[in-house]
Amino acid sequence: FRTLDDADLAGKRVLVRVDLNVPMADGKVSDDTRIRAVAPTINEIADKGGRVILLAHFGRPKGQPNDAMSLKHIVTAVGAVIGRPVAFADDCIGADAEAAVAGMQDGDVLLLENTRFHAGEEKNDEAFAAALAKLGDLYVNDAFSAAHRAHGSTEGIARKLPAYAGRSMQRELEALESALGKPERPVVAVIGGAKVSSKIDVLENLSSNVDALVIGGGMANTFLLAKGVAVGKSLAEPDLVETARRIMAAADKSGCAIVLPVDVVVASEFKAGAASRTVDANAVPDDQMILDIGPQSIATVNGWIDKAKTLVWNGPLGAFEVPPFDTATVAAAKHAAERTRTAGLNSVAGGGETVSALHLAGASDDFSFVSTAGGAFLEWLEGKPLPGVDVLRQG
């Protein structure tokens, strides 16, 4: 695909798809990571004399404009991060948008209203994509985290204008390529989270692509069940025991080690400070639930991290939101961060919860790459095509 290095930007109207779907608290942006991720692209285009027209969605308004999901609430935060004024237009297509674009000078930045206020965005209809494309000379996609959606502003428009990857998109794709495309082996994947059901395709894809698959969090309980181990009151999905067996068989066939907890931390309820103890994974009492993996299991996970040249991480190892059940997640994240600093481990993490867990462990700065994506990172782990990326490759 083409990048900003290939684009002639001076004097051009450049439509830039960014992901401004950021967390808000009390009407203010509470985490500006995604804005910081796209700032280099915006500033580079503006510095080269391009007119930057930002396209973004916020929330899931399903084609219905509403004040709470207006991007006008984000304008100040974008301006603060990029360090230049940002104008705003009340619509992303039509007369208002056209007038706002017509009034721009070289180097100006304009944010257009939520693309999802038009049903044509999610339908990816021709007319909507054409109305967007009309506003610009070039299109740059810098929103990897929205690239799993075949929408007007991520896919349709890229077929109508010369299309380029922005710097954040480029960095995401390079990191992902280094982790699963052409990785240095051994590759170890750590996959956690509550449910197998949300990550079946991830586990299936990884089980034939990585050298070891560490399974933690609630989903490990379903795998323990599949091995005939009783898990007491733990969160588990008995319906997926067969799926878990299939994944283990596939891993076995392709020489991928499946790493399950050998000891676990249990409590009678899921509550902060609940009395907890460590037991063997095959000795969980009937009235107890597994809330974290135990010290021996942490040592095993860290041992795999020591062997790895490449680490892919998605999902916590325990119920990390409630201490002390964050112990394993924090310990393994710290260990991976240290191996990245001292032993050249290539560590790539992604997914909303994962990023919070790494922050909690103070480990995110040391990881080689932390993706800004949630759903798109998962779809990539599933080995699925990402429409917003594929269309750039065709261009």
Q: Extract the annotated binding site for (2R)-3-phosphoglycerate.
A: 34, 116, 149
Pair 114, 57: CB distance under 8 Å: yes
CB of 57 to ligand 3PG, least distance (A): 7
CB of 353 to ligand 3PG, least distance (A): 12
Is residue 21 close enough to count as binding ligand 3PG by CB under 6 A?
Answer: yes
Considering only residues 142 to 161 of the shown chain, the ones binding ligand 3PG according to CB under 6 A are 145-146, 149
- Binding-site residue numbers for substrate are 19-21, 34, 57-60, 116, 149
Which of 65, 107, 295, 375 touches ligand 3PG (CB under 6 A)?
Answer: 375
CB of 94 to ligand 3PG, least distance (A): 23
Is residue 354 close enough to count as binding ligand 3PG by CB under 6 A?
Answer: no
Is residue 374 close enough to count as binding ligand 3PG by CB under 6 A?
Answer: yes
Nearer to ligand 3PG, 145 or 153 (CB): 145
Which helix H or strand E contains 289, and what residues bound it?
strand 289-293
Bridge-partner residues for 280, per DSSP? 263
Nearer to ligand 3PG, 61 or 232 (CB): 61
Per-position b or e across 319-337, b if 16+ CB within 10 A of its CB = bbebebbbbbbbbbbbbbb
Nearer to ligand 3PG, 59 or 285 (CB): 59
Number of residues that bind ligand 3PG (CB under 6 A): 8
Is residue 162 close enough to count as binding ligand 3PG by CB under 6 A?
Answer: no
- Tally: H helices and E strands in the chain: 14, 17
Distance CA(197)–CA(209), nearest Å, equals 20
Please list, in sequence order, all residues whose beta carbon lies within 8 angstroms of the beta carbon of residue 200, skipping any fewer than 6 positions away: 240, 243, 247
Pair 84, 109: CB distance under 8 Å: yes
Detail the DSSP E strand segments found in 113-181.
Answer: 138-141, 163-165
Please measure the distance between the N-terminal and C-terminal CA atoms of the chain and give it in whole angstroms: 7
Q: Is 224 exposed, middle or buried (0-12, 13-18, 19+ CB in 10 A)?
A: buried
CB of 186 to ligand 3PG, least distance (A): 30
CB of 46 to ligand 3PG, least distance (A): 23
Is residue 31 close enough to count as binding ligand 3PG by CB under 6 A?
Answer: no
Distance CA(269)–CA(263), nearest Å, equals 18
Nearer to ligand 3PG, 145 or 288 (CB): 145
Pair 14, 51: CB distance under 8 Å: yes
Q: Is the peptide bond before 387 cis (omega within 30 degrees of 0)?
A: no
Residue 358, token pair as written in the block: 């790494």
Residues taking part in catalysis = 34, 195, 352, 375
Which of 60, 271, 307, 393 touches ligand 3PG (CB under 6 A)?
Answer: 60
Nearer to ligand 3PG, 98 or 390 (CB): 390
Nearer to ligand 3PG, 51 or 149 (CB): 149
**Look-up of token digits 């991060």:** 81
Is residue 19 close enough to count as binding ligand 3PG by CB under 6 A?
Answer: yes
- Residues of this chain that interact with ligand 3PG (CB under 6 A) are 19, 21, 60, 145-146, 149, 374-375
